[in-house]
Structure 1
Amino acid sequence: MIVKWRKSSHTGGANDNQCVELGRLDPGAGIGVRDSKDPDGGHLVLSGAQFASVIKQIKQDSAR
């Protein structure tokens, strides 16, 4: 499967490599997360529930 990786719209732009990228993996396989500075260095795989939990925690931390 070819994964289409994308950066957050909250980064500094298309040339900003100081962020993570997300990729939708095969159906049921989860969400891929990788370092934009090292795209060939592998990626972390999170289930949909794990990814939702990470996003929830980030939002809670940023509200403080």
Structure 2
Amino acid sequence: MPDAEMAALLQAVLDEVCADLAPFDTATRERVAARLSNRIRSGRCSVDDLKQAGRDALIRAPTMWP
């Protein structure tokens, strides 16, 4: 579980990256949040790394194939 400072950073990045999404588009917000969480687990947790991961999650739609 991230500490309070990291949780606040993740929330701020999520809100910024998803600012243009419709409020009811929770599936996309969840995908972005999952990508941010994965980036944190990989040890790459600078603000720029997190923002890039969030933008990548918005650009690359999930598929069933690798």
Larger radius of gyration: 1
What TM-score does the superposition give when structure 2 sets the normalisation length? 0.33
Structure having the higher strand fraction is: 1
What TM-score does the superposition give when structure 1 sets the normalisation length? 0.34
